[in-house]
């Protein structure tokens, strides 16, 4: 009589056979090709990030780190796809890694995921997916960065004036939200968020014409950043 296999043994055997069949030998040619393709895609991500960056202060170190992240990810994935036991050990080791650096710009998070995805797909041997997917993502980002949407944009308006003029100033202001208000013996500093078009700043002159207003400053406002 043949050996009776339980359902658990059948599942375990099928998984092991499937993984063994899908294993990719870790040869020198594969390592060189994978790292070369990953580096080229990393450079492409580098230039797309630099061209489409809309923040206040461009950080070259973060951009270079995107290339490093792609390369390191591909180095981790290559042995995982070649050895089942090693892959389980690496998954356990990576589970203790914690990243505590705060990334405030959502676009930076998107580029970080892009670099990780490029490293994952390249390290797994899906070179066509890595190249074609990165080209499509890069073109979309470049196209979107060149499109200028019409409409109002957020600005910070800072006004210094003498106390008791709030009602008068509100008459000449566009639609706004109060961000902060500081009152001292010398006067009042009022910070507002206003939404106006880039060419419609004539209300500043109307504010300065008011008697008792010392100065008014209009600053470009980008969420957590001011430029």
Q: Domain check: are 61 and 98 in the same one?
A: yes
Same domain flag for 157 and 58: no
Tens of pLDDT along 92-106?
555 555 656 666 677
Residues 127 and 81 in one domain: yes
Query: Cα–Cα distances in Å, from 39 out to 56, 74, 212?
Result: 27, 10, 61
Residues 163 and 141: their CA atoms lie apart, in Å, by 48
Q: Is 16 found in the same domain as 53?
A: yes
The reply to whether 44 and 110 lie within a common domain is yes
Residues 161 and 140 both lie in one domain = no
User: Domain total for the chain?
Assistant: 2
Q: What is the pLDDT of residues 148-205, one digit of tens each?
A: 666 667 788 888 888 878 788 888 887 778 888 888 888 888 888 887 776 677 778 8
Q: Is 1 among the domain residues? A: no
């Amino acid at each position: 009589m043949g050996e009776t296999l339980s359902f658990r043994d059948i599942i375990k055997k099928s998984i092991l056979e499937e993984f063994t069949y899908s294993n990719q030998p870790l040869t020198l040619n594969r390592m060189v090709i994978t790292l070369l393709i990953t580096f080229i895609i990393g450079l492409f991500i580098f230039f797309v990030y630099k061209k489409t960056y809309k923040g206040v202060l461009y950080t070259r170190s973060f951009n270079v780190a995107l290339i490093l992240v792609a390369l390191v990810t591909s180095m981790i994935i290559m042995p995982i796809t070649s050895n089942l036991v090693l892959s389980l050990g690496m998954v356990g080791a990576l589970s203790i890694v914690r990243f505590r650096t705060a990334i405030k710009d959502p676009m930076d998070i998107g580029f970080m995921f892009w670099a990780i995805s490029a490293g994952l797909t390249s390290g797994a041997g899906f070179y066509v997916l890595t190249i074609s997917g990165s080209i499509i993502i890069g073109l979309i980002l470049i196209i979107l960065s060149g499109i200028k949407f019409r409409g109002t944009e957020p600005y910070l308006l800072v006004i210094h004036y003498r106390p008791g003029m709030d009602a008068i100033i509100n008459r000449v202001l566009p639609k706004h939200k109060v961000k902060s208000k500081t009152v001292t013996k010398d006067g009042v500093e009022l910070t507002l968020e206003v939404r106006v078009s880039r060419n419609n700043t004539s209300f500043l002159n109307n504010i300065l014409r008011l008697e008792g207003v010392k100065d008014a400053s209009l600053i470009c406002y980008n969420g957590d950043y001011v430029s």
